[in-house]
Structure 1
Amino acid sequence: MGNVQPTIVPYDGFDVMADVKAIRKACKGLGTDEKAIIEILANRSADQRQEIKQAYFDKYDDELVDVLKSELSGNFENAILAMLDPPQVYLVKELRRAMKGAGTDEDVLVEILCTSTNADIAMFKEVYFQVHERDLEADIEGDTSGDVRRLLTLLLEGTRDEGYEVDEALAEQDAVSMFEAGEGRFGTDESTLSYILASRNYIQLQATFKAYEQLSGTEILDAIENETSGTLKDCYKALVRCAKNPQLYFARRLNKAMKGAGTDEDTLIRLIVTRSEIDLETIKDMYLEKYDVSLKDAICGECGGDFKRLLLAICH
């Protein structure tokens, strides 16, 4: 939406064989030259990294991922491996990880599905099946329940209007429907809210939120806070924030990952790696505006070593 800026663009002087040899050299002998690995991978686009992986295999008959796994460790290794997957493959692995084992990490499901385009969702379904030989919709249905399941299933249909037209009459009508589904009644009719948030275009939703506030005197996020709870509330808030300003939503996610006791490194890696070629530069601006501290300084305060250096290099 709008004019957003990435931090990583395809490297102009890209020489795949020079990169392959430099990475080989960085991994050979005693110790690993992590700085050289960061210098190369944090300055190449995802497509260029795929070329490096292929050329590495062709030249040395070695999988680059296996080589780096044996040389690196911890969060630094996780971040480097995330960068070596095509973005859609990495994200479907994250979706699967969020559902595997005991309990479900709904935050991850919400973050990925609530911020994806229809084309992204269609691709996720396809790639999820290729990578895991499982059906994404069936897995999400099996791992969630009730209104959350219904909302995520709606999002998985990938039928959101992605135009930029605003129908003021529809905005008024949706605002009334949302009011009558929530504040205007005892209990909440989640299906109405879910349908509107999952199907209207973002500009249309902004008009609806405005109409809602004029009608009810309550800001939409406050209404959601008062009327819903648990994971469903998180889903709705994520959808509203994405409709208002997706980059600010991501800035908030990054801040939450670094707040409080312990850092959520998985979220840091996922957002910084996957948004780097889309809108990370704009997310950095939003972060500074919202929290009065730069994203780089926040990372410096929370992360250390090569992991910190890699994240900073991606953020430029």
Structure 2
Amino acid sequence: MGNCQPTIVPYEDFDVMMDIKAIRKACKGFGTDEQAIIDILANRGAFQRQEIKQAYCDKYDDLVDVLKSELTGSFEKAIIAMLDTPLVYAVKELRKAMKGAGTDEDVLVEILCTATNEDIAMFKECYFQVHERDLEADIEGDTSGDVRKLLTALLQGERDESYEVDEELAEEDATSLFEAGEGGFGTDESTFSHILASRNYLQLQATFKSYEQLSGTEILDAIQNETSGTLKKCYVALVRVAKNPQLYFARRLNKAMKGAGTDEDTLIRIIVCRAEFDLETIKDLYLEKYDVSLKDALRDECGGDFKRLLLAICH
């Protein structure tokens, strides 16, 4: 999707032995040297962090256990998240969202509605490796109705990912969407779900433009008026991702910091997972949209070592 800039790249002078000695020293003795841990982990690529975790384990002890015993709160959560690859972390978040009573639908929406076909295939495989469970079966068991149908469709990983735009199809789809929603009696969700889950992003952009010409309404306004609950969240996410995935994540970050209390889990998930893909681009769009830099927003909302770590990942 265009110019995706990461904030974390593999460290050129990587020396795994030096790193694990420094981490061991930071955790030894009285009190923990959190800054030393931040300096290392926020400046190493995900696979380098895997090497650190493995080497530490071979030479000393289980690094995750050591850090869990030394650190607390959101800082601990974020550091532990960084010791998984973004893929493994994502499938752990999916499982966590479905475990226990109730479902954290926002997490399912955020992860599944932004995924490429390749992401979906990797999620399924990795989910099975990590949890020995079937992702599709879990999603089916945990959701219902139109949300289940839509997420199941997304899990087929069959979206057209070409960059070709068929203007005629865009007009047809726009008409179908109009007739399935504003122009009809009641809303036909299957039409919305099919189009939003299967067309390529440029094709969807053309469809949204055509929809607006046809109905005089912006597609997002139509969705707001015609749907509700989790299904609405799914549709809004899919529309926003089709328009600009990085802006979708910038909005999620902003929402996590707005109002009373901060949704630290969402901050961790997006900042840690996107750092190696497009966090630099997300930062640019955040500034453009909210007139405040992401770093300043984090400075205001977060505190202590957690804040220092997130700022370090944002570089």
TM-score normalised over the length of structure 1: 0.99
Which amino acid in 2 is paired with 1:211?
S
> Which residue of 2 is the match for residue 12 of structure 1?
12
> Which residue of 2 is the match for residue 129 of structure 1?
128
Which amino acid in 1 is paired with 2:17?
M
Provide the C-alpha distance between the structure 2 equivalents of 1:153 and 1:163, rounded to a whole number of angstroms: 22
Provide the C-alpha distance between the structure 1 equivalents of 2:273 and 2:117, rounded to a whole number of angstroms: 17
Provide the C-alpha distance between the structure 2 equivalents of 1:3 and 1:91, rounded to a whole number of angstroms: 23
> Which residue of 2 is the match for residue 252 of structure 1?
251
Which amino acid in 1 is paired with 2:34?
E
Provide the C-alpha distance between the structure 2 equivalents of 1:100 and 1:57, rounded to a whole number of angstroms: 29
* Percent identity (aligned): 84
Residues 41-52 of structure 1: matches in 2 within 5 Å? 41-52=41-52
Q: 1:184-227: CA deviations, max 9, x gaps? A: 10100000110000001101100000011111111100110111
> Which residue of 2 is the match for residue 26 of structure 1?
26
Moved over 6 A (4+): none
> Which residue of 2 is the match for residue 269 of structure 1?
268
> Which residue of 1 is the match for residue 157 of structure 2?
158
Provide the C-alpha distance between the structure 2 equivalents of 1:133 and 1:4, rounded to a whole number of angstroms: 33
Provide the C-alpha distance between the structure 1 equivalents of 2:294 and 2:85, rounded to a whole number of angstroms: 25
Provide the C-alpha distance between the structure 1 equivalents of 2:230 and 2:289, rounded to a whole number of angstroms: 24
**SS state at 2:158 partner:** coil
**SS state at 2:43 partner:** coil
Provide the C-alpha distance between the structure 2 equivalents of 1:78 and 1:139, rounded to a whole number of angstroms: 24
Gaps of 5+ in 2: none
Provide the C-alpha distance between the structure 1 equivalents of 2:47 and 2:211, rounded to a whole number of angstroms: 43
Provide the C-alpha distance between the structure 2 equivalents of 1:277 and 1:163, rounded to a whole number of angstroms: 24
TM-score normalised over the length of structure 2: 0.99
Q: 1:106-152: CA deviations, max 9, x gaps? A: 11000000001111111111111111111111111111111001000
> Which residue of 2 is the match for residue 213 of structure 1?
212
Deviation at residue 57 of structure 1 after TM alignment: 1.6
Residues 153-192 of structure 1: matches in 2 within 5 Å? 153-192=152-191
Deviation at residue 302 of structure 1 after TM alignment: 0.9
Deviation at residue 289 of structure 1 after TM alignment: 0.8
Deviation at residue 59 of structure 1 after TM alignment: 1.8
Provide the C-alpha distance between the structure 2 equivalents of 1:216 and 1:275, rounded to a whole number of angstroms: 36
Which amino acid in 2 is paired with 1:264?
D
Provide the C-alpha distance between the structure 2 equivalents of 1:138 and 1:57, rounded to a whole number of angstroms: 34
> Which residue of 2 is the match for residue 302 of structure 1?
301
Q: Which moved more, 1:188-197 or 1:128-137?
A: 128-137
Which amino acid in 1 is paired with 2:219?
I
**SS state at 2:292 partner:** coil
Q: 1:73-116: CA deviations, max 9, x gaps? A: 11000000000011111111100111111111111000000001
Which amino acid in 2 is paired with 1:4?
C
Provide the C-alpha distance between the structure 1 equivalents of 2:14 and 2:162, rounded to a whole number of angstroms: 36
> Which residue of 2 is the match for residue 199 of structure 1?
198
Residues 92-107 of structure 1: matches in 2 within 5 Å? 92-107=91-106
Deviation at residue 12 of structure 1 after TM alignment: 1.0
> Which residue of 2 is the match for residue 119 of structure 1?
118
> Which residue of 2 is the match for residue 38 of structure 1?
38
Provide the C-alpha distance between the structure 2 equivalents of 1:303 and 1:3, rounded to a whole number of angstroms: 29
Gaps of 5+ in 1: none
Residues 279-290 of structure 1: matches in 2 within 5 Å? 279-290=278-289
Q: 1:11-63: CA deviations, max 9, x gaps? A: 11111111111111111111110000000000001000001111112222x11
> Which residue of 2 is the match for residue 80 of structure 1?
79
Provide the C-alpha distance between the structure 2 equivalents of 1:110 and 1:250, rounded to a whole number of angstroms: 12
Provide the C-alpha distance between the structure 2 equivalents of 1:282 and 1:264, rounded to a whole number of angstroms: 22
Provide the C-alpha distance between the structure 1 equivalents of 2:187 and 2:215, rounded to a whole number of angstroms: 15
Which amino acid in 1 is paired with 2:25?
K
Q: 1:260-310: CA deviations, max 9, x gaps? A: 111110000000000000000010011111111110111111110000000
